[in-house]
A and B are shown apart, each in its own frame.
Chain A
Amino acid sequence: MILLIQICNKRFHYLEFIKPIEDVLKRNNIKFESIHYKKVTEDIIHKAEKIIISGTSLKDNGFIKDIDKFKWIKKFDKPILGICGGMHILGLIFNGELIKQQEIGLTFIDIKQEFLGYKEKIEVYELHNFYAISNEFNIYGGSKYCPQAVKHKKNPFFGVLFHPEVRNKDLIVNFAYL
Chain B
Amino acid sequence: MKCGILFSGGKDSVFATYLAKKYENEITCLITIISENPDSYMFHTPSILKVKKQAEVMNIPLLIQKTKGEKEEELKDLELAIQKAKKEFNIEAIVTGSVESAYQASRVQKICDKLELDCFNPLWQKDQFELLYDLIENKFKIIITGVFAYPLNETLLSREINDKFINDIKTLFEKYKINPAGEGGEFESFVLNCPMFSKELKIKDSEISGKKNSWRMELEVI
Contact of B124 with A by CB under 8 A = yes
Q: Of A19, A23, A102, A165, which contacts B113 at CB under 8 A?
A: A102
Q: Please give 7 more A-B residue pairs, beta carbons under 8 A apart, in addition to A15-B19, A20-B124, A127-B106.
A: A11-B24, A12-B1, A12-B23, A15-B126, A59-B113, A127-B109, A165-B125
- CB neighbors of A among B73-129 (8 A): 93, 102-103, 105-107, 109-110, 112-113, 116-127
Are B125 and A12 touching (Cβ within 8 A)? no
- Give the shortest distance, in Å, between B134 (CB) and chain A (any CB): 11
Residues of B within 8 A of A19 (CB): 125-126
Q: Which residue of A lies closest to B98 (CB)?
A: A16
CA A55 – CA B123 in complex, angstroms?
Answer: 16
A23–B99 CA distance with the chains assembled, in angstroms: 14
- Which of A11, A20, A102 is in CB contact (< 8 Å) with B125? A20
B20 interfacial by beta-carbon distance below 8 Å: yes
Which 8 A-B pairs rank lowest in CB-CB distance, beginning with the nearest?
A105-B106, A20-B125, A15-B122, A59-B118, A12-B23, A16-B124, A16-B121, A106-B102
Partner of B120 from A13, A102, A105 at Cβ < 8 Å: A13
A12 contacts which of B25, B105, B127 (Cβ < 8 Å)? B25
Q: Cβ of B113 and Cβ of A104 under 8 Å apart?
A: yes
Docked pose: A58 CA to B94 CA in angstroms: 13
Residues of chain B whose beta carbon lies under 8 Å from any beta carbon of chain A = 1, 19-20, 23-25, 93, 102-103, 105-107, 109-110, 112-113, 116-127
Q: Which residue of B lies closest to A24 (CB)?
A: B125
Given contacts A23-B127, A104-B110, A166-B102, contact A16 B122 (CB under 8 A): yes
Instruction: Decide if A129 is an interface residue (CB 8 Å cutoff).
Output: yes
Nearest-neighbour CB distance to chain B for A63, whole angstroms, equals 15
- Give the distance in Å from the alpha carbon of A47 to the alpha carbon of B112 in the complex: 39
Q: Smallest CB–CB gap between B117 and chain A, Å?
A: 7
Asked if B109 and A15 make an inter-chain contact with CB atoms under 8 angstroms apart, the answer reads no
16 residue pairs bridging A and B, Cβ less than 8 Å apart: A10-B1, A10-B118, A11-B24, A12-B25, A15-B122, A15-B123, A57-B120, A58-B118, A59-B113, A59-B118, A104-B106, A105-B105, A129-B113, A165-B125, A166-B125, A167-B102
CB-defined contacts of B110 to chain A, threshold 8 Å: 104-105
Residues of B within 8 A of A125 (CB): 102, 106
Q: Place the interface of chain A in its size category.
A: 20 to 34
Interface residues of A (CB under 8 A from B): 10-13, 15-16, 19-20, 23, 57-60, 102, 104-106, 125, 127, 129, 165-167
- Decide: A104 near B109, CB < 8 A? Known: A11-B23, A20-B125, A165-B125: yes
Does B125 lie within 8 Å of A23, measured CB to CB? yes
A101 nearest CB across to chain B (Å): 13
In the complex, chain B residues whose CB is within 8 Å of the CB of A60: 118
Shortest Cβ gap from A4 to chain B (Å): 15
Which of A11, A59, A105, A129 sits near B102, CB closer than 8 Å?
A105
- Given A10-B118, A13-B120, A23-B125, A58:B20 Cβ within 8 A: no
Determine the distance from Cα of A80 to Cα of B24 in the docked complex, in whole angstroms: 33
> Inside 8 A of B23's CB, which chain A residues have their CB?
11-12, 15
> Closest CB of chain B to A97's CB: distance in Å?
21
Give chain B nearest CB distance to A142 CB in angstroms.
19
Residue numbers in B under 8 Å from A58 (CB-CB): 109, 112-113, 118-119
A58 to B211, CA, bound (A): 43
Q: Which residues from A are CB-within-8-Å of B127?
A: 23
Shortest CB–CB separation between residue B135 and chain A, in angstroms?
Answer: 15
**With the chains together, A135 CA to B74 CA distance in Å?**
44
CB atoms of B124 and A12 under 8 A apart: no
